[in-house]
């Protein structure tokens, strides 16, 4: 199957060299790594319906990742979606640090999904109006699925946060584990200047929504005791936590062990 990419106007937008490729890869890597993480739940979910839900979300994210990789490959040239996913090293991956964090318990997986889906939904809202027609098309297509992910994960954050003593304690722990990886979403890397996204607005809307869901869930976002909360950064530039290497080892095993194998 061939894909058409509406990048015929690329000459009109003169971003700095390679920015568009890097930004597309950042979007691709982020969706792929979260899909891979969520897929670790396959067959292990707390109940069958939720096992199916988290793996369905994985599948949607892999679909988005494929669209981004295919587009990136068309921009870069002389490569394809598989090479980009399976043959790049840890330092070349530009995904958000949040999505590579371990699944932890169900509460931590749910919270990671919620913090990300809330961000992704608002990001795609802006991106669907991008001047880059292909990124706009992918965002407009994917936002419909993202609204399912967002609703599902929001409901679970509320259910668990405002649930039993045990589930509440676990959600507090999940907030502690993940919060410092959320700041990075709103600090644009150099290549993100071509995205046309208003990161100030994005952060503001995200914070409002998260506060509202947290308040219903009887959870409180860390305040840093009056000072700024320390936020981890680096994923967008290829500086990752120790977890990404292990994820790639598993994800890329077949292509590394049997180069060019197909099935």
- The residue within the footprint of other proteins, chosen from 22, 27, 28, 62 (CB under 8 A), is 62
Shorter beta-carbon distance to other proteins: residue 105 or 216: 216
29 phi, psi to nearest 5 deg? -60, -40
Shorter beta-carbon distance to other proteins: residue 20 or 240: 20
What the block records as the tokens of 130 is 């991008």
- The residue within the footprint of other proteins, chosen from 67, 109, 113, 120 (CB under 8 A), is 67
Q: Burial, 226: exposed, middle or buried (Cβ in 10 Å; 0-12, 13-18, 19+)?
A: exposed
Residue 218 as a binder of other proteins (CB under 8 A): the answer is no
Shorter beta-carbon distance to other proteins: residue 24 or 240: 24
What the block records as the tokens of 190 is 């150099």
Of the candidates 57, 23, 22, the residue with the CA atom closest to the CA atom of residue 37: 57
Of the candidates 38, 31, 27, 64, the residue with the CA atom closest to the CA atom of residue 140: 64
Using CB under 8 A as the binding criterion, the count of chain residues that bind other proteins stands at 38
Residue 30 as a binder of other proteins (CB under 8 A): the answer is no
Q: What is the spatial distance between Cα 214 and Cα 117, in angstroms, rounded to a whole number?
A: 14
CB of 90 to other proteins, least distance (A): 25
| 210 secondary structure, DSSP code | H
Point out which span in 12-20, 52-60, 221-229, 255-263 binds other proteins (CB under 8 A): 52-60
Shorter beta-carbon distance to other proteins: residue 189 or 219: 219
Residue 211 as a binder of other proteins (CB under 8 A): the answer is no
CB of 113 to other proteins, least distance (A): 13
What the block records as the tokens of 33 is 């790594």
142 phi, psi to nearest 5 deg? -75, -20
Q: What is the spatial distance between Cα 30 and Cα 10, in angstroms, rounded to a whole number?
A: 24
Q: What is the spatial distance between Cα 206 and Cα 203, in angstroms, rounded to a whole number?
A: 5
- Per CB under 8 A, contacts with other proteins among 110-139 are 133-134, 136-138
Point out which span in 62-70, 80-88, 224-232, 249-257 binds other proteins (CB under 8 A): 62-70
Q: Which residues bind other proteins (CB under 8 A)?
A: 1-4, 6, 49-50, 52-53, 56-57, 59-64, 66-67, 133-134, 136-138, 140-142, 144-145, 147-148, 150-152, 154-155, 158, 213
């Amino acid at each position: 199957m061939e894909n058409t990419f509406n990048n015929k106007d690329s000459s009109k937008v003169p971003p700095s060299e390679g920015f568009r490729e890097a930004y597309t890869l950042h979007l691709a890597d982020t969706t792929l790594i979260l899909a891979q993480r969520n897929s670790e739940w396959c067959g292990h979910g707390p109940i069958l319906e939720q096992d199916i839900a988290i793996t369905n979300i994985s599948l949607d994210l892999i679909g988005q990742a494929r669209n981004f990789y295919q587009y990136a490959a068309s921009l870069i040239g002389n490569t394809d979606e598989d090479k980009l996913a399976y043959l790049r090293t840890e330092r070349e991956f530009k995904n958000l640090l949040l999505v590579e964090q371990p699944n932890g318990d169900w509460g931590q997986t749910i919270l990671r999904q919620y913090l990300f889906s809330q961000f992704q939904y608002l990001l795609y809202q802006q991106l669907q109006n991008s001047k880059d027609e292909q990124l706009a098309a992918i965002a407009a297509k994917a936002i419909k699925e993202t609204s399912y992910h967002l609703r599902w994960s929001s409901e679970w954050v509320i259910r668990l946060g405002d649930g039993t003593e045990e589930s509440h304690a676990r959600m507090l722990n999940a907030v502690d584990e993940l919060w410092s990886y959320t700041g990075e979403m709103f600090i644009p890397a150099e290549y993100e200047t071509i995205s046309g996204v208003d990161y100030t607005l994005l952060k503001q809307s995200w914070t409002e929504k998260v506060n509202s869901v947290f308040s219903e869930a009887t959870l409180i976002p860390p305040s840093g005791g009056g000072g700024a909360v320390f936020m981890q950064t680096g994923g967008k530039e290829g500086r990752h936590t120790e977890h990404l290497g292990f994820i790639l080892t598993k994800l890329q095993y077949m292509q590394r062990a049997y180069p060019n194998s197909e099935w």
